[in-house]
Homo-oligomer: A and B are copies of this chain.
Amino acid sequence: MNRNQLIEQIREKKSYLCVGLDTDVTKIPKHLQSQPDGVFQFNKAIIDATKDHCVSYKVNTAFYESQGLKGWEAMEQTLHHIPKTHFTIADAKRGDIGNTSSQYAKTFFEVLPFDAVTVAPYMGEDSVRPFLEYEDKWAIVLGLTSNAGSNDFQQLALSGKNNGGRLYETVLHTVSSWGTPGNLMFVVGATRASDLASIRSIIPEHFLLVPGVGAQGGSLEEVTKYGLNNDYGLLVNASRAIIFAGGGEDFAEKAKIVAAGYQDEMKGLLGA
C-alpha cells in the first residue's frame, strides 16, 4: 500500500486506528483455546468486528512464533483474512547485517505479504536498507519507544556534532535520510506525548506508529495534538485494550465497541 492510499483510508473512515493483534493464546476466550485454530478464529472475529473502525492491523510476531509451526500458520491465515483496504504491519522488530536483513525483508514482504515491518536501528544503515528496496512496502523504525527501558539508551545525551541531542533524536534524523516519507515510518511511544512536538520538528512529514495508547496509558488527545500533520501522519495502535476488552463469547462485540470508541474520539479530534 502506498502513502496516498493510506491517507485516503484515513480520510474516508476518519480513523487512524491500528488494531494490534497481540493474540496471546492464554488470554483468548476459553471456548477458543481448545480449538486447533483458536488463534486464527479469534483474530478472524476481531478483524470482522473492528475493520470498519480502523485502517490498519499490526501483528505482533512474537505471540505467533511462541506457538511454533501452528503459530506461523495462524499468522499467515490472519494476514490473508485482513481486507486489502487495511495497512498491514508485521511488528517483528528485525534488523541484522545487510544480507540477513534481506532475508527478513523477503519473509515479511514476500512470503508473508505485509505492507510494513518494524525494524530496530542499532545496527545502522545496511540493516535498514533492504527493507526500503520494495515498492509500496515500508520499514517502521524504532525511534522512541513507550516502555520503561526506553530511558536506558534512547534518551542518552550525545556530544560532538550531536551535542545536547538525545540518541533517539539522532536516530530519527539519520534514519530519515535513508528513505522517504513514502517508504519509512517511525515508532514513537504515546507515553511521552510531550516529546512528540520536538519529534515533529525533526521528521515533520513521516507517519508515526504510536503504540502505548490504552493498556500502556497514553493519551489519544495528546498524541493527536502533537503528532498530527497535514497528511494525518499518525497510526495509533491499541492492542490489549481492544482485543481483550471482553473475555467471554461476546469478545468480538466488546472489541468492536472499544474500537468504535477510538474512532469516535478520532473523528472529534480531526474536527470532522
* CB under 8 Å from chain B, chain A span 35-70: 60, 62-63, 65-69
Min CB distance A194 to B, Å, is: 20
Q: Is the CB of A98 within 8 A of B153?
A: no
Asked if A163 is at the interface of the complex by the 8 Å CB criterion, the answer is yes
Asked if A192 is at the interface of the complex by the 8 Å CB criterion, the answer is no
Chain B residues contacting A158 (CB-CB under 8 Å) are 156-159
Q: Give chain A's interface residue range (CB within 8 Å of chain B).
A: 35 or more
* Contacts A124-B147, A124-B150, A126-B148 given; does A72 touch B62 at CB 8 Å: no
Q: Is the CB of A122 within 8 A of B122?
A: yes
CA distance A107 to B62 in the complex (A): 8
Q: Is the CB of B95 within 8 A of A65?
A: no
Binds B, one of A131-139, A167-175, A229-237: A167-175
* Contacts A164-B159, A167-B156, A170-B156 given; does A122 touch B142 at CB 8 Å: yes
> Which residues of A does B touch, CB under 8 Å?
22, 24, 60, 62-63, 65-69, 72-73, 76, 91, 93-101, 103-104, 106-107, 111-112, 120-128, 142, 145-154, 156-160, 162-164, 167, 170-171, 174
CA distance A111 to B60 in the complex (A): 17
* Contacts A95-B93, A163-B159, A170-B156 given; does A148 touch B122 at CB 8 Å: no
Number of copies: 2
CA distance A106 to B63 in the complex (A): 10
CA distance A98 to B147 in the complex (A): 8
Q: Is the CB of B97 within 8 A of A123?
A: no
Chain B residues contacting A120 (CB-CB under 8 Å) are 93, 95, 120, 122-123
Min CB distance A197 to B, Å, is: 23
Min CB distance A96 to B, Å, is: 5
CA distance A128 to B150 in the complex (A): 12
Q: Is the CB of B104 within 8 A of A123?
A: no
Whose C-beta in chain B lies nearest to the C-beta of A215?
B99
A/B interface sample: 12 pairs, CB < 8 A: A68-B72, A68-B111, A69-B73, A97-B145, A123-B150, A124-B148, A124-B149, A125-B152, A126-B148, A126-B149, A156-B167, A156-B170
Chain B residues contacting A104 (CB-CB under 8 Å) are 62, 65-66
Q: Is the CB of A148 within 8 A of B125?
A: yes
